[in-house]
Amino acid sequence: MKKQLAKVLIAFAFFFSFAPTSLRGRGEQSTAAQASTKTLTVPGLRDPVTVRRDERGIPYIEAKNDADLYFAQGYVIASDRLWQMDLLRRNERGELAEVLGNAIERAVLVCDTNVIHSHHLPPTLQTAEASGTGTRMTLASAIASFERDLIVDTLKSTSGNIAKAARQLESTERILGYKIKKYGIDSTRFRQ
């Protein structure tokens, strides 16, 4: 029973990481990948607030006062996590099948290991188009973004020690220094 529960929980995480954006509640703010801008009028704000997102979907909030900033931050977090709150509510009420259908149950039944992979899911959930996870970036920019994130994470775990980070990444200090400069990473901010 514990193995089956673990499979179901892994499947939920997998399913919702590739779920269409309509299920996750995205789209309230504009992103760099979107050409359109959406203006919302939200009661409770004193002054206009601007929310913009970078190419990775990270929100940047500009407000004229702290109260509006905190309000907008709460709004952005709630809009990004609406799918998660809905999932938890449906789980508590026993209504997950309304959203998931039998996709997770099917995946658990056909899975022959302790891990559910994409090939265990129905074909409509296996494609980027069907799941709404198609990328809007080039291969070069995706690789650069991944490389930058990997370097930042390694610098965090090594407290900004470039030599130690280079060893962990199986690279040289010179190459890592070049990449740090290329991506504009300030390694000193990770020192403790």
∠ CA 60-56-58, nearest 5°, is 25
Q: Please, what's the largest Cα pairwise distance for the chain?
A: 56
Q: Are 29 and 76 in contact (CB under 8 A)?
A: yes
Query: What is the predicted pLDDT for the residue at 173?
Result: 94
Angle of helix 139-157 relative to helix 173-182, nearest 10 degrees? 120
Query: What is the predicted pLDDT for the residue at 127?
Result: 66
139 or 152, greater pLDDT? 152
115 or 9, greater pLDDT? 115
In the chain, what are the domains? 2-131 (no CATH), 139-190 (1.10.10.60)
Would you say residue 27 has pLDDT above 80? no
Query: What is the predicted pLDDT for the residue at 181?
Result: 94
35 or 66, greater pLDDT? 66
Site of tokens 């004229």 = 64
The amino acid present at 168, given as its one-letter code, is Q
Query: What is the predicted pLDDT for the residue at 81?
Result: 84
Residue 181: strand, helix, or coil: helix
Q: Are 18 and 133 in contact (CB under 8 A)?
A: yes
Query: What is the predicted pLDDT for the residue at 124?
Result: 67
Query: What is the predicted pLDDT for the residue at 151?
Result: 93
Mean pLDDT of 43-57: 86
Encode pLDDT of 145-191 as tens digits. Answer: 889 999 999 999 999 999 999 999 999 999 999 999 999 999 889 88
58 or 35, greater pLDDT? 58
Query: What is the predicted pLDDT for the residue at 162?
Result: 94
Query: What is the predicted pLDDT for the residue at 79?
Result: 83
Query: What is the predicted pLDDT for the residue at 116?
Result: 78
Euclidean distance between the first and final Cα of the chain, in Å?
Answer: 44
How many CA atoms, within 13 angstroms, populate the side-chain half-sphere of residue 106? 13
Encode pLDDT of 82-138 as tens digits. Answer: 878 888 888 888 887 777 777 777 788 888 888 877 777 777 666 666 556 666 778
Mean pLDDT of 51-70: 88
